[in-house]
Amino acid sequence: MFSLKGDAHKVFLRLKKTIHNGDIIRETKEFKEIEEIQTLYQSLDSDTLQLIHYRMIKEYNGSGIIPILVSSAPWLLLLFSKQLANYLFKDGSWLWAGFCIVYLLTLGISVMIHFREKAWAAFHMEIIQDILKERKNKKDQGQSTN
């Protein structure tokens, strides 16, 4: 199921296929995982959940050293560009091609990991916020009826 429309569209296509096959959406692996996460977070008290939320905010805003790597590596290469060029291009060597492939692969994988980490942190934050908001609403409704 190859699509250039992104992960959200892939989820839609899997849902569509699941429904078309007559299967239950909640029985798919992805949605069972979501329910497990929700169940775990719902089992925790609100104060602990708030602490976890703060930690997720930290993860979301500063996930890893990947942004530093992406922004600083080109500057480092620029600093040593003359020496690097002499080494990579000496005697008609194809060493530069290998270097470029390894560098671009490392860069691409690093960026993908960074945004995947950020997406998971946002996912957990949203679940936690929903649980805390639901608890607050229940508490407020309980107080207004008394």
Which tens digits make up the pLDDT trace of 101-142? 988 888 888 888 888 888 899 999 999 999 999 999 988 888
Q: What is the rounded average pLDDT of the residues 43-60? A: 93
pLDDT given at position 65: 67
Q: Are the beta carbons of 118 and 63 closer than 8 angstroms?
A: yes
Instruction: Classify residue 90 as left (phi > 0), alpha (psi -120 to 50) or beta.
Output: beta
pLDDT given at position 146: 58
To the nearest whole number, what is the mean pLDDT of the chain?
85
Ranges 61-70, 75-84, 123-132: which has the least confidence: 61-70
Give the 3-state secondary structure percentages of the chain, helix then strand then coil, rounded to 5: 85, 0, 15
Q: Are the beta carbons of 13 and 6 closer than 8 angstroms?
A: no
d(CA 146, CA 70): 57
